[in-house]
């Protein structure tokens, strides 16, 4: 038994905590030691690094920020930093604080500032530097960096949730496909059981009830000749029995005409269309190839049931004065076309039928299932000029087709 997919849940993440270390690269003098001391006194985790490679290796997730002395920014360091910063993940914008030299701004210092812009998130602090300014700048950088880590964590959680949703979606699709396949098998079995049951009931009516009625009529004929005084009453009873025999025979043939098994679809269709015209008052015409060969029993039964359902719908709903039935057969397909001249099927009903296979009664739904079982194609064209129903059934089973390709609806103009 197929089990339902599990509820969607987001797994707990082992996301690394925010690394708030501040790395200081000030290779000359005591600036590095002083800054480290000031920051630690303010409960900021800071440490000096002496190697360019150590600083570059910490970018982007092994430190919270970096402080660089201007004199340490050689072309080699800038190039290495730019290379490391260029491969940051989308959520990261590693903050760098550059301590510049004091004095008057010159063309050279402006050029140096522009050269540092390639490093991205750079804040310039001019020396001599007050401790409060340094602490404020570092804390601002770390707060911004923490926000970046929160964005990273959110993105990772969302990715995990999307993956879980995708897995649940795939599981649901698999389950729907399995259930759809099971329903299709059940539908096919129900259609076959229905046909077998119709055949059995028709045989019972003909061989059982029909024979009893015939025997009763014969007995009545004998009695009527013996009892002349009650001849009129016997005649009334005879007429009733004759009607019962006729209606029983008609019901038996409608359930499953013997002609369908004995002579094939053409003979059964001629008998049914002629009877339909007489019973309904609708001018019904039939065009069948004169040299129509016998088709497989499944195809002939499907074509006859489609014809029955379609003409029943014409009689009940179309308000059509006439209906035309045509069967064509080529090397590949048998195509049955039924055209009426009634009021058509409302477009919204057809659209719902195309989407769900329902909302237009069991007749069309049954036709669709029979055609789908035989891997055929079903088309309905409808407008206020009437409706054309076309069922095409392959004479030899083709490769499995998509259900969406087996049914179509469209409109046709009155000129058609």
Q: Could you report the per-residue pLDDT of 376-416, keeping only the tens digit for each?
A: 988 888 888 889 999 999 988 665 555 544 555 555 444 33
Is the pLDDT score of 372 beyond 50? yes
- Contact, 312 vs 279, CB < 8 A? no
CB atoms within 10 A of CB 309: 20
Bridging pattern class, strands 333-340 and 322-329? antiparallel
Rounded-to-integer distance, Cα 169 and Cα 167, Å: 5
Parent domain of 359:
264-410
Task: Calculate the dihedral angle through the C-alpha atoms of 348, 354, 358, 362, rounding to the nearest 10 degrees.
Answer: 110
Rounded-to-integer distance, Cα 52 and Cα 323, Å: 91
- Coil, strand or helix at 298: helix
pLDDT at 161: 93
Contacts of 196 (CB under 8 A, 6+ apart): none
Place of tokens 């009453």: 233
What digits encode the pLDDT tens for the residues 234-266? 676 767 777 776 666 666 666 667 777 788 888
Split into its structural domains, the chain has a count of: 2
pLDDT at 140: 93
Contacts of 113 (CB under 8 A, 6+ apart): 124
Rounded-to-integer distance, Cα 100 and Cα 72, Å: 11
Tokens for 166? 């995708």
Q: What is the CATH number of the domain that holds 55?
A: 3.40.50.2300
Is the pLDDT score of 143 beyond 50? yes
What count of residues does the chain have? 416
Confidence band, pLDDT 50/70/90 cuts, at residue 160: very high
Residue 398 falls within a domain, yes or no?
yes
How many alpha carbons lie under 13 Å from residue 377 in its C-beta half-sphere? Answer: 14
Residue 74 falls within a domain, yes or no?
yes
Residue 101 falls within a domain, yes or no?
yes
**Which of residues 193 and 166 earns the better pLDDT score?**
166
Contacts of 94 (CB under 8 A, 6+ apart): 59, 60, 63, 65, 66, 85, 88, 120, 121, 145
| Least confident among 10-14, 114-118, 139-143 | 10-14
Q: What is the CATH number of the domain that holds 369?
A: 3.30.565.10
Residue 270 falls within a domain, yes or no?
yes
Q: What is the DSSP string of 367-396?
A: HHHHHHHTT-EEEEEEETTEEEEEEEEESS
Q: What is the pTM of this model?
A: 0.48
Residue 328 falls within a domain, yes or no?
yes
pLDDT at 255: 66
Rounded-to-integer distance, Cα 211 and Cα 245, Å: 9
pLDDT over 70 percentage in the chain: 71
Closest listed residue to residue 346, CA positions, set 390, 322, 312, 380: 380
Bridging pattern class, strands 96-100 and 333-340? unpaired
- Coil, strand or helix at 29: coil
DSSP conformational letter for 93: -
Residue 104 falls within a domain, yes or no?
yes
- Looking at 75, 100, 129, the residue that finishes a domain is 129
Tokens for 366? 């049954």
C-alpha to C-alpha distances, 412 to 164, 224, 234, 346, nearest whole angstrom: 47, 61, 57, 13
- Looking at 79, 112, 129, the residue that finishes a domain is 129
Residue 338 falls within a domain, yes or no?
yes
Bridging pattern class, strands 377-383 and 386-394? antiparallel
- Looking at 98, 129, 160, the residue that finishes a domain is 129
Q: What is the mean pLDDT of residues 150-164?
A: 91
CB atoms within 10 A of CB 204: 13
* Phi, psi for residue 317 in degrees, rounded to 5: -125, -30
Contacts of 261 (CB under 8 A, 6+ apart): 297
Q: What is the mean pLDDT of residues 361-370?
A: 75
- Contact, 249 vs 217, CB < 8 A? no
Closest listed residue to residue 140, CA positions, set 270, 214, 44: 44
pLDDT at 378: 87
Residue 160 falls within a domain, yes or no?
no
How many alpha carbons lie under 13 Å from residue 163 in its C-beta half-sphere? Answer: 8
- Coil, strand or helix at 260: helix
């Amino acid at each position: 038994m197929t089990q339902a997919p599990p509820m969607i849940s987001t797994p707990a993440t082992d996301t690394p905590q925010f690394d708030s270390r501040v790395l200081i690269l000030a290779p000359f003098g005591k600036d590095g030691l002083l800054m480290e001391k000031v920051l630690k006194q303010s409960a900021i985790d800071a440490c000096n690094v002496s190697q360019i490679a150590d600083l570059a290796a910490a970018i982007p997730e092994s430190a919270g920020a970096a402080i660089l002395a201007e004199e340490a920014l050689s072309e080699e360091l800038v190039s290495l930093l730019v290379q490391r910063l260029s491969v940051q993940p989308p959520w990261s914008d590693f903050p760098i604080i550059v301590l510049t030299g004091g004095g008057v701004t010159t063309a050279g210092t402006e050029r140096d500032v522009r050269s540092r812009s390639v490093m991205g998130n750079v804040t310039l602090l001019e020396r001599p530097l007050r401790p409060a300014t340094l602490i404020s700048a570092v804390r601002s950088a770390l707060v911004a960096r923490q926000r970046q880590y929160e964005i990273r964590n959110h993105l990772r959680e969302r990715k995990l949730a999307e993956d879980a949703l995708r897995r649940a979606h795939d599981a649901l699709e698999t389950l729907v496909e399995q259930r759809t396949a099971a329903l299709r098998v059940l539908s096919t079995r129900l259609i076959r059981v229905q046909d077998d049951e119709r055949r059995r009931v028709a045989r019972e009516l003909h061989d059982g009830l029909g024979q009893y009625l015939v025997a009763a009529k014969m007995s009545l004929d004998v009695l009527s000749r013996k009892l002349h005084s009650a001849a009129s009453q016997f005649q009334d009873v005879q007429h009733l029995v004759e009607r019962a025999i006729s209606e029983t025979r008609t019901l038996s043939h409608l359930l499953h005409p013997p002609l369908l098994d004995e002579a094939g679809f053409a003979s059964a269709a001629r008998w049914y269309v002629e009877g339909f015209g007489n019973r309904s008052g609708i001018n019904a015409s039939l065009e069948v190839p004169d040299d129509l060969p016998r088709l497989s029993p499944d195809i002939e039964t499907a074509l006859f049931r489609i014809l029955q359902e379609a003409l029943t719908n014409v009689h009940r709903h179309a308000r059509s004065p006439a209906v035309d039935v045509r069967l064509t057969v080529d090397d590949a397909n048998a195509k049955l076309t039924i055209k009426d001249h009634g009021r058509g099927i409302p477009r919204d009903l057809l659209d719902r039928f195309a989407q769900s296979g329902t909302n237009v009664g069991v007749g069309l739904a049954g036709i669709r299932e029979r055609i789908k079982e035989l891997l055929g194609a079903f088309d309905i064209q409808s407008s206020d000029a009437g409706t054309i129903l076309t069922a095409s059934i392959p004479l030899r089973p083709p490769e499995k087709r998509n259900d969406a390709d087996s049914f179509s609806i469209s409109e046709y103009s009155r000129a058609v």
